[in-house]
Amino acid sequence: MSPWLVPPSAGEEGNHGDTEKRFIVSGDHQTKKNKMILSATRNDEAVLSNLNAQFIRNFINMDTVEHDKIIHKDFVCIQSSGEILDRDAYMKGWANGYENSHYKTLSYKDEVIRIFGNTALVRSKTVYTKEVNGRIISGNAVYTDTYVKESGKWLCVQAQITGVAGG
């Protein structure tokens, strides 16, 4: 049987809560090559998780200098409205996006990272409070950031944000 990286099944021992990210190699045995793949995947997963945290920090701090370092030259963002922003328009909005959004708090949870060779999907749910018409409301959005690995470095090539109805 050919080994593949798969998420653990629900029946396996251990806690598989929202914050735990764990992979196993399927099949009856782990060869040296499989262990190396698993190790590389875990290293990449840690890097991508850190990039996800940095992405949110950059937004909150409106840090265009640091954000510019982690997004690809061909980056696009698909807003929850369906509007597609190219890199330049996105970065212009990034400079004051957090302030203009009227967020009071913003965090993320439920991070899921899927790696497919030199491409990765990073999905999380934001949890926020913001001021709208003088009232504080809370809500959620789910986003998926697509990363590509070029010359050993992960860069975000696309971000897509989906609002969660009633959330």
> CA 40 to CA 84: how far, in whole Å?
33
Kindly report, residue by residue over 73-123, the tens digit of the pLDDT.
999 999 999 999 999 999 999 888 888 888 899 999 999 999 999 999 999
Q: Centre a 10 Å sphere on the Cβ of residue 15 and count the other Cβ atoms it contains.
A: 7
What is the arithmetic mean of pLDDT over 18-47?
54
> CA 30 to CA 2: how far, in whole Å?
10
pLDDT of residue 97: 84
- What amino acid occupies position 2? S
pLDDT of residue 167: 59
> CA-based angle 58:63:66, to the nearest 5?
80
Q: Where are the alpha helices (DSSP H) in 16-150?
A: 32-61, 64-68, 87-94, 97-101
pLDDT of residue 22: 37
pLDDT of residue 7: 36
Whether residue 14 is predicted with pLDDT greater than 70 in this model: the reply is: no
Q: Smallest Cα–Cα separation from 129: which of 152, 149, 102?
A: 102
What is the arithmetic mean of pLDDT over 126-142?
93
Domain with 49 in it: what CATH number? 3.10.450.50
- What amino acid occupies position 62? M
- The parent domain of residue 130 ranges over 5-163
What is the arithmetic mean of pLDDT over 142-157?
97
Average pLDDT over all residues of the chain: 80
What is the arithmetic mean of pLDDT over 50-66?
93
- Total domains in the fold of the chain: 1
Kindly report, residue by residue over 140-149, the tens digit of the pLDDT.
999 999 999 9
